Structure formats: structure tokens, C-alpha cells
Amino acid sequence: MSTGSPVGSHRVVSPAGSLPQAADRLDPDPEIKDDEVRVSVERLNLDAASFRQLHTKHGGDGDAVRAEVLAIIEARGKMQNPVTGSGGMLIGTVDAVGPRSPLGLKPGQKIATLVSLTLTPLRITDRLERWDGSSEQVPAQGTAILFGRSIAAPIPEDMPEELALAVFDVCGAPALVRRVVSRRYHSAPTVAVLGAAGKSGSLSLAAAKDARAAKVVAVVRDEIEAAQMRRLGLADKIAVADATDPLHLAREVNEALHGRGADVTVVCVDVPGCEHGAILSTATGGTVVFFSMATSFPQAALGAEGLAADVEMLIGNGYVPGHADYALHLMNAHPRLKELFNTRIGGRH
């Protein structure tokens, strides 16, 4: 048994020299190197932006969505949507652990991978036949490979797997929001969360509250989501606006904050086109956290320049130390968050 590269470069088929995330194709061979772990896959969680793109492209035809997901995995040796570039994550049972694996996992352990599917070698063996193509969560059978530098978390025993998977998928958002809000501002910052009724959005609201933001504004797209926000009880103000309509969005955020932009704006919407609205909604000297994978770097950078907006812009790195535990802590602290997640896990029809 030979040792692999801790970052998985030995699994890259093409283009040579790239890291797994940027690769077109990975080798998903279930045979492991002595620092790898093989996981017996039970469920994939497709990233929201990726699932929405596929669902929209196929007009809601679940069979067509399933066929395309299978075709992507077979062609690429991983689940990375070629349009959105995003993946998701998975849960499964540890099947084999190489003797030099540093991850501390044991065969038989039920885990969620906390590294993206975009760099996880994946082979599907059941043609996804138990999935109707209508939800982000995909019951699946197959194998996935973790490298020396991958991360994984045991599934908590007191939480249903589907819920844990959905929470872990977006757990980078609340941890980053806590970090940004807790920075030493001269006074506690105001926070606006776009897409607040979604998974990363609602966790971000909870994190902003937990980090003692001065005021938290939940921006949602319609009255149904506004009612969900009232029930959740984590926002000081609720604004209904289309996050892709920059002027309307900025007006609503300003109104909620008595004529000022937000000190911190968090973009958790799963559709493209929110960059300019987020920038316009942010106070001078404030920070925009782009957690959404549908964010365009040129739109954000050129948009801020074109608006002469002096704002800091952060890409929502999905990894922040302690992110999984922090997200679980928030879920346990707010039972209504669990309710909201459970309503979202059901699927898009």
C-alpha cells in the first residue's frame, strides 16, 4: 500500500498538476492508499445553487435531474455541477481506514464529510434509483474517498441524519458570521441577512444574534417566508425584497435600519445576481459576506468599484475551525431553527 498526497493530487486524472477541486476528472477507485479513508455512501446533499440550476434547467423533471447528476458523477469521478462549479457533501459509514490516515476515523462510524463533493472521489453503484430528483438530499449507494487533509464529523446521535447533513452543508456560514460580527467594531454592528429563511441564512441570523449584533434584519423574498421569520423570532426586523433587485433591496434594508446601510451584509441567497444589491445595502466601511455559491467575483468587484462603495468583501470560505460544532450548538439552542430546517428538507416540487 503506498501513501497518497494529503491534498489528493494523486487522484487527479486531468488536467495534470491541478488539485482535486479544480480537476475536470478524478479517479474514484475504491482501492485506498495508506493515508486515505473509504466511506460507504448513504446520502448526498447537493449544494442549493447546484440543485436549483439543475431543477430549473430541466423544468422540474426529476428523472432528467437524476440522469444528469449520474452523468456528471460518472464523467467527473466527483459531483461538481459544471455550471455552478459547486458540489455539496455526503453522509456514509466509514468502510476502510488506511494505517497512516490522520483523520482518527474508525470503520463502522457514521460520518458526514465536511469537505466539498467538488473534490471528493465518488463512485455511485445504485444508479440513484431511490431518488426522485426533486430534493437536494439524494439517497445513494457507492463509495467516496477522504484524503489525509480532508475533514469529517461524526453524525450526532440525537439528530436525524437528514437534518445533520443539511446543517453541516452550510455550517461555514454561521461560524464566519460570528467571527465577522464579533470583531472589534467601535459599537456592535447591524447585520442584514439576504435569504434569511434558507438554511445558511437562518443559521446566520442565529449567529449574528449570538455574537451580539446591534440589530439583525432578515431579508426574505415573500410573505410566506416573512411569516416563517416571525415564527423563528431571531430577527429584529423583517424586510421583504427580491435580492436581485438592487434598488428595492437597498431601500428596504435602509428603511429597516433607519436610513443606514448594514454594517455587515450576509448573502445566503441561492440565485445569481445579488452582488450589487448586497453592496448597495451595506454602510460605508462595512463588510459583505458572500456565502452564496451563485456569487460572481467580477460582478462583486466591478460593482463595488462602479458604485464607489468602500466595503470589504469576503468570500464565504466553507471552512472555519469549529464550524460544525458551532452550527449544532445553534440548532440545539433554537428549537424553531430545527422546525425551519425540517420544512426545507422536504424538497422542491
Among 44, 269, 300, 309, binds ligand NAP (CB under 6 A): 269
Nearer to ligand NAP, 79 or 294 (CB): 294
Count residues near ligand NAP (CB under 6 A). Answer: 29
Cα-to-chain-centroid distance, residue 225:
20
Residues 74, 113: contact at Cβ < 8 Å?
A: no
CA distance 164 to 80: 21
195 binds ligand NAP (CB under 6 A): yes
| Residue from 294, 311, 313, 330 binding ligand NAP (CB under 6 A) | 294
Q: Where are the beta strands (DSSP E) in 181-334?
A: 190-194, 215-220, 237-240, 262-267, 282-290, 312-315
DSSP E strand boundaries for 32-121: 37-46, 88-97, 110-113
Neighbour count for residue 223 (Cβ, 10 Å): 10
293 binds ligand NAP (CB under 6 A): yes
Q: Which of 112, 122, 218, 243 binds ligand NAP (CB under 6 A)?
A: 243
User: What distance in Å separates the CA atoms of residue 41 and residue 39, rounded to the nearest whole number?
Assistant: 6
With 0-12 / 13-18 / 19 or more C-beta atoms within 10 angstroms meaning exposed / middle / buried, residue 6 is middle
Contact in structure between 113 and 13 (CB atoms under 8 Å) = no
Residue placing its CB nearer to ligand NAP in the complex, 32 or 65 = 65
Using CB under 6 A as the binding rule, whether residue 232 contacts ligand NAP is answered as no
Q: Is 291 in the site for ligand NAP (CB under 6 A)?
A: yes
Binding mask 46-75 for ligand NAP (x = CB under 6 A): -xxx--------------------------
Nearest residue to ligand NAP, scored by beta-carbon proximity: 198
Identify the residue among 221, 237, 323, 334 touching ligand NAP (CB under 6 A).
221
Q: Are the C-beta atoms of residues 45 and 165 closer than 8 Å to each other?
A: yes
In the complex with ligand NAP, the residue whose CB is nearer, 145 or 294, is 294
Nearest Cα to Cα of residue 151 among 85, 110, 118, 102: 102
- Residue 197 has phi, psi (to 5 degrees) of -85, -5
Using the rule CB under 6 A, give the single segment among 15-23, 45-53, 250-258, 320-328 that binds ligand NAP: 45-53
> Which of 215, 316, 327, 334 lies at the binding interface for ligand NAP (CB under 6 A)?
316
* Position among 11, 33, 38, 199 found at the interface with ligand NAP (CB under 6 A): 199
We find the least distance from the C-beta atom of residue 118 to ligand NAP, in angstroms, to be 10
Pair 286, 191: CB distance under 8 Å: no
User: Is residue 292 at the binding interface for ligand NAP, with CB under 6 A as the rule?
Assistant: yes
At 94, is the secondary structure helix, strand, or coil? Answer: strand
For position 341 contacting ligand NAP by CB under 6 A, the verdict is no
- CA–CA dist 281, 288 (Å, integer): 9
**Does residue 218 touch ligand NAP according to CB under 6 A?**
no
Nearer to ligand NAP, 278 or 311 (CB): 278
C-alpha cell at 249: 433591496
Minimum distance from CB of 291 to ligand NAP (Å)?
5
**Rounded-to-integer distance, Cα 271 and Cα 344, Å:** 16
Binding site for ligand NAP (CB under 6 A): 47-49, 86, 169-170, 172, 195, 197-201, 221, 225, 242-244, 268-271, 291-294, 316, 318, 344
